[in-house]
Structure 1
Amino acid sequence: MCLKVYYQLTTWMALYRLVKNILPGLTMIEYSRFTRRIKQMGTVLQVIRQGLSSWTNPESVAIIDSYPLPLCQYVRNLHASVFAGYADLGYNATKKQHFYGFKVHMVATPGRLILNYVVTPALVSDVKVALTVTQDCPCSNILADVGYISKDLRTAFAQRGYTFWTPYRSNMKELRNTIIQF
């Protein structure tokens, strides 16, 4: 799948041909079996990622964030048939852009080790996915951006034993005054 992204291939057949050309001496499986195995790789990659994260020394800090995964330009969303019923219209506040597609929610360490990720329709709020994506997180401190500000979410993380850090908004003066200085 990395080859498909790197070489900007748009079809599985193009990836199949590329692998066949890169490894000419290898007896290749037929195309239909190749696509079935590619589809099963998602589960295999999850298991590999979980294994890698269990081998490493857990850091005390994890970072949670989300980013858009657009399928097409916003103006073409009415004609898009790929992932119809799954993809959704969303808004990226950072770029101030509407998009059609998905949103990837990810938890990673400062050392760039991905601990977990979830792909959701674009309209799903960061707050709704935060507890799911941080489940079984080995880090005790979780840093997040303003998309994750929620009093209920902060309470839920505290009940799980996590310290949840988000920036404060300008109208949150009562919480700013309770910050403990280290």
Structure 2
Amino acid sequence: MQQHWGMKALDKSGFTRQLHRLHETLKYLFFSLGQHLKQLNTEARYVIDSFPVAVSDNVRINRCQLLEGETYRGYSASKRRYFYGFKVQLLMTHDGLPVEFYIHAGSEADITGLKALDPQLPAGSTLYADAAYTDYALEDAWYEAEKVALLVDRRKNSKRLHEPW
């Protein structure tokens, strides 16, 4: 950087401080970009899923100084293991472009994250989700109020199975 622009490279601490200063700007930029991508998504099909962000390994939870409490201990079913940290709910277009996100404690359920995220989708949209997002009351209320269909991959013992077609 110094050769090309006459600036010294930022060390890790300086980069972190700059990033924290730009927190609100980056959040607004991501929100604006997400709104623009929603307008460009003419098919109005979206996908939501979550992934864990582990802060500490399971064995070192007792010594973790970044977080405290059992609210951050979560379970990742796809990896079949416990983690200590956060979950990120990511709403994206069917092409995989991220539109909205929500970060919450690892012990919270995915459906709780969806309710807190409260995505503002255009009327007539379809949101695809896995079985962790099963909530019949939310599906009905969302469709009646905003005409957004929440299509959840149902479990075999579900009360509302999908039609075979």
1:55 is displaced (CA, Å) by 3.1
Q: Give the aligned length.
A: 160
1:29 is displaced (CA, Å) by 8.5
Asked if 1:147 is matched to 2:136, the reply is no
Q: What CA RMSD, in Å, does the superposition of the two structures yield over aligned residues?
A: 2.9
Structure 1 match to 2:113? 129
Matches within 5 A, 1:20-169: 25-26=6-7, 35-56=16-37, 57-58=40-41, 59-84=43-68, 88-138=72-122, 140-158=125-143, 159-169=145-155
Assess if the C-alpha contact under 8 Å between 2:128 and 2:152 holds in 1: yes
1:33 is displaced (CA, Å) by 7.1
- Helix, strand or coil for the counterpart of 1:175? coil
Taking a change above 3 Å as real, the CA distance of residues 21 and 70 of structure 1, as seen in their structure-2 partners, is: farther
TM-score scaled to structure 1, two decimals?
0.74
Taking a change above 3 Å as real, the CA distance of residues 34 and 118 of structure 1, as seen in their structure-2 partners, is: same
Q: State the identity %.
A: 23
Partner Cα separation in structure 1 for residue 44 and residue 83 of structure 2: 35
Assess if the C-alpha contact under 8 Å between 1:107 and 1:133 holds in 2: no
- Name which of structure 1's ranges 47-56 and 162-171 shifts more when overlaid on structure 2: 47-56
Structure 2 match to 1:4? none
Assess if the C-alpha contact under 8 Å between 1:116 and 1:134 holds in 2: no
Assess if the C-alpha contact under 8 Å between 2:54 and 2:84 holds in 1: yes
Letter of the structure 1 residue corresponding to residue 148 of structure 2:
Y
Partner Cα separation in structure 2 for residue 91 and residue 42 of structure 1: 29
- Helix, strand or coil for the counterpart of 2:142? helix
Letter of the structure 2 residue corresponding to residue 164 of structure 1:
L
Assess if the C-alpha contact under 8 Å between 1:107 and 1:134 holds in 2: no
1:170 is displaced (CA, Å) by 1.0
Letter of the structure 2 residue corresponding to residue 39 of structure 1:
H
Gaps of 5+ in 2: none
1:144 is displaced (CA, Å) by 0.3
Structure 2 match to 1:10? none
Letter of the structure 2 residue corresponding to residue 84 of structure 1:
E
Partner Cα separation in structure 1 for residue 111 and residue 15 of structure 2: 38
- Name which of structure 1's ranges 38-47 and 161-170 shifts more when overlaid on structure 2: 38-47
